[in-house]
Structure 1
Amino acid sequence: MKKEERLAKEILEHVGGAENIKRLAHCMTRIRLDLHEDKLVDIAQLKNIDGVMGVVEDDTLQIVVGPGTVNRVAAKMCEQTGLSLNEVDDPDHVAEDTKQAIKKKNNTPIKNFLKRIGSIFIPLIPALVASGLINGGANFAQNAGVSPDTTWLQILLVIGSGIFTFLAILVGWNTAKEFGGTPALGAIAGILIINPALENVTLFGEQLVPGRGGIFAVLLAGWLMAVVEKQIRKGVPSAVDIILTPFLTVLIVGVSTIVVLQPVGGWIAEGVTAGINGVLDIGGAVAGAILAGTFLPLVMVGMHHGLTPIHLEFINSQGVTPLLTILAMAGAGQVGAAIAVFVKTKNQRLKNTVKGALPVGFLGIGEPLLYGVTLPLGRPFITACCGAAVGGAFQAVMSTAAVGIGVSGLSLIPLIAENKYFIYFLGLVVSYTFGFLFTYLFGYKEEMAENIG
């Protein structure tokens, strides 16, 4: 039996069987399960499955199995349950069950808001990563002396830049979908924001600017599109719903977007980017240390995706995001901490877990280390944050930035702006080193290994 098939079978055994799964999905590293009965889950046995790096209990049960593996395990689970990815079993009870689950988990409004944002952007991550790396590679080649008129370089830039040019459409689609509206109408909201024809319109004596407000304006417009559509549908006869509802929705939201939401989005975008730039300019190393040192806790609760629109707005307005290189140090600090644990521990299971999670950790995917090593051990999680803080301070002082978004770690190097590739790499080494030292000296005792078997 192959590893993925075995993992799928054992996971199903300890979550109450195939009949207990309501919905099955996955992200880059985790199997995500909506369950009918949470009480049927054996968390301890799930954590003990060979190949499971961690388990997160939230409004969904999240089982960390690592990048690449997660796709194959999810496919095997689909075969064994008869479900398709994101297909809901027993849909008549989904809304009530989800409502009760959220209530039971005692989620805060801020956490739920950031989860909504995450749900909008998580499906876009593979495309953003791929395009960012292609763009970064092309820019790297150009900086190395390849002529910008070279055909293959121009083709790469076309491929890599496409999603960033039309990202508003995808964000609008996902936003409307997330808030219960028609995705295509959300796409129209995105088109409204970036439509080049806006520059031909003068409103209140001011020429409109295509793209003003960026991702924030798109989020607002996509959300309003969903809200207005649902309200109109309540009062429109079924016979003309297919005609009147989208017509009135697009008309009302279209005017509202151009007159109100785009300017408001612009003010939000300008305020956020100016605020973060101000914090980094004034706070310098201290600001970088705080940002990097507190990022792993955000990853721990899945709220880090809420920062994606901020990165994208930086890129939209300034061409680079200075925030990403600082936050990338969180994963590097954790890599250093994990290496220290590997060196000190005599627990073979723990060594194997570190060994399996380190390669992707170096490449910027930190969840296997987070849920499989540092978080279960406790203190190494704190020393990893401390190592990250030192690296974040370094990146802030050196003013590194990225021209695109994607995973972090070594994978981010091609996306570093202004040829500061080596400086960014030095920052990684700083985080590796201090994460290792803090953990080796203060962060790990052998009895901690009992927490993870």
Structure 2
Amino acid sequence: MTKEEQIAKKILQYTGGKENIRKLAHCMTRVRLELKNEEKADIVALRQIEGVMGVVDDGTLQIIVGPGTVNKVADAISRSTGIKIGEETAEPDELTFEERAALKKANIKSKNQTPFKNFLRKIGNIFIPLIPGLVASGIINGAANFAKNVGVDDKTTWMQILLLVGSCIFTYLAVLVGWNTAKEFNGTPVLGAIAGMLLFNPGLAEIHIYGDALIPGRGGLFGVIFAAWLMTIVEKQIRKIMPNSIDIIFTPLITVLIVSILSLYAIQPVAGVVADGITTGIKAILDVGGVIAGAILAGFFLPLVMLGLHQGLTPIHLELIHATGSTPLLPVLAMAGAGQVGAAIAIFVKTKNKKLRSIIKGGLPAGFLGIGEPLLYGVTLPLGRPFVTACLGAAVGGAFQAFMKTAASAIGVSGLSLTPLIVDNKYFYYLIGIVIAYACGFIFTYLFGYKEEMSENIK
């Protein structure tokens, strides 16, 4: 049995077995489980599993095992349970409707969820399956543009291929987002995909509504998400009254017609105003707030990561890229991981705890490449004060990035991996910002953030 299979076996053991799993998914570092009865999960025992770096129990049970490992652990759970990754299982037959309702109510109450957290979680669930493709395409696109900037002829076949591959997912991103939105809200995915196809269709430019030609992509992904969500609502309502014999024909037909008309006459104009407001607002915050805004944004980003809500910002990055060609927010927020790397190095230098040093040694490579969860859940968060000093280091780096007005042409992981995506040849400034965050995270943690007795929290 491999190490990953052992982790998977213990995760199942401490979450109530395969019968208790409703849904299995994963992102770059976390196995995500939706449980039928969350009271059966032994969070303390899960945290003690060798190879588990942390657990977030917030609606969806998130078990952090690190990049690379997460794919193998999720696959092992899938093979063991027969549950396909990303698909839900049915409720157990032995539970009555009232019992299921009571159980769901108890779970929600116990988690102290808020509408805002639920909203961010839903948005995150839409984009998390797309992240590997966004990362790969973004890096390819960034590397190709970097080569172009240093003089490589973009008319050569290989450059054309790289630029084409790098742009593929962004060309059809609206379709993928629409599909995932409908799936997340328990609708028919292809109807959500149609919403994405419609709102980004070049043919919209030939249609005039309210006296003006429509603009393909107006409203960005916010419009797509809302239209795809509306598809699920309309579909469910129509299905309630549609005879079974004609449901497969007329339910999707009527749904698409109704939502398409609403999308062009109402959703796209409103979403356009919202998207413009968000992009203008973010740019204004960074332009007017400058270094202070950069420090606040970077300093408070790690708590979002801690709660697993950071993916909810993905559509904002993508809308900034869609509207302006780049996102100035991403380099600022990337400093959160850099501050944490500096804090971890300081702890590594000071501590004599062998297990703590081993965890840091294993997490630093991923941290340098912008994947911070191993260090967050394995080191800074359990120790307490280093989490704060890491945030302070991030704030200084974020202030520098805001001052230099660095921006990224695509989204991906942060850290050093983000460098090829930096626009306007500001690669050097971005790297200086990372070094500043490393250094400040190190200094704050070395001087104020860590005492050896804290290592007793690492078990």
Give the alignment's TM-score, normalised by structure 2: 0.95
Match of 2:177 among 171, 178, 192: 171
Matched, 1:124 2:130: yes
How far is 1:90 from its partner?
A: 4.2
- Aligned 8 A contact 2:38 2:107 in 1: no
Cross-structure match for 1:272: 278
Aligned equivalents of 2:83 and 2:203: distance in 1? 45
Cross-structure match for 1:12: 12
Give the direction of change, closer, same or farther, for the CA distance of 1:253–1:87 in structure 2 (3 Å limit): closer
Give the direction of change, closer, same or farther, for the CA distance of 1:151–1:232 in structure 2 (3 Å limit): same
More off after superposition, 175-184 vs 391-400: 175-184
- 1:54-453 pair list within 5 angstroms: 54-91=54-91, 96=101, 97-453=103-459
Give the direction of change, closer, same or farther, for the CA distance of 1:89–1:193 in structure 2 (3 Å limit): closer
Aligned equivalents of 1:99 and 1:153: distance in 2? 55
Q: Deviations over 1:373-415 (max 9, x none)?
A: 1111111111010000000000000000000001100110111
Give the direction of change, closer, same or farther, for the CA distance of 1:349–1:183 in structure 2 (3 Å limit): same
Q: Secondary structure at the match of 2:424?
A: helix
Q: Deviations over 1:281-314 (max 9, x none)?
A: 1110000000000100111111111111110001
More off after superposition, 22-31 vs 193-202: 22-31
Aligned equivalents of 1:161 and 1:183: distance in 2? 23
Q: Secondary structure at the match of 1:63?
A: strand
- Aligned 8 A contact 2:400 2:433 in 1: yes
Aligned equivalents of 1:18 and 1:236: distance in 2? 36
Q: Deviations over 1:310-344 (max 9, x none)?
A: 10001101000000000000010011111111111
How far is 1:99 from its partner?
A: 4.9
Matched AA of 2:405: S
How far is 1:19 from its partner?
A: 4.0
Aligned equivalents of 1:17 and 1:204: distance in 2? 57
More off after superposition, 373-382 vs 35-44: 35-44
Give the direction of change, closer, same or farther, for the CA distance of 1:231–1:19 in structure 2 (3 Å limit): closer
Aligned equivalents of 1:340 and 1:135: distance in 2? 35
Aligned equivalents of 1:11 and 1:351: distance in 2? 25
Q: Secondary structure at the match of 1:57?
A: strand
Matched AA of 1:41: A
Structure 1: state its 5+ residue gaps.
none
How far is 1:22 from its partner?
A: 3.6
- Aligned 8 A contact 2:36 2:91 in 1: no
Aligned equivalents of 1:236 and 1:23: distance in 2? 29
Give the direction of change, closer, same or farther, for the CA distance of 1:177–1:38 in structure 2 (3 Å limit): closer
Matched AA of 1:321: T
More off after superposition, 369-378 vs 392-401: 369-378
How far is 1:197 from its partner?
A: 0.9
Q: Deviations over 1:334-373 (max 9, x none)?
A: 1111111111111111111111111101101111111111
Structure 2: state its 5+ residue gaps.
none
Cross-structure match for 1:35: 35
How far is 1:182 from its partner?
A: 1.1
More off after superposition, 345-354 vs 3-12: 3-12
Give the alignment's TM-score, normalised by structure 1: 0.96
Aligned equivalents of 2:410 and 2:88: distance in 1? 34
Matched AA of 2:414: S
Q: Secondary structure at the match of 1:28?
A: coil
Cross-structure match for 2:50: 50
Kindly report the root-mean-square deviation, in angstroms, between the aligned alpha carbons of the 2 structures: 1.6
Matched AA of 2:49: I
Tell me how many residue pairs correspond in the alignment: 453
How far is 1:421 from its partner?
A: 0.9
Aligned equivalents of 1:90 and 1:251: distance in 2? 31
Give the direction of change, closer, same or farther, for the CA distance of 1:41–1:224 in structure 2 (3 Å limit): closer
- Aligned 8 A contact 2:26 2:70 in 1: yes
Q: Deviations over 1:124-166 (max 9, x none)?
A: 1111111101101110110111112111101111111111111
Give the direction of change, closer, same or farther, for the CA distance of 1:273–1:86 in structure 2 (3 Å limit): closer
- Aligned 8 A contact 2:78 2:85 in 1: yes
Give the direction of change, closer, same or farther, for the CA distance of 1:127–1:34 in structure 2 (3 Å limit): same
Aligned equivalents of 2:260 and 2:83: distance in 1? 38
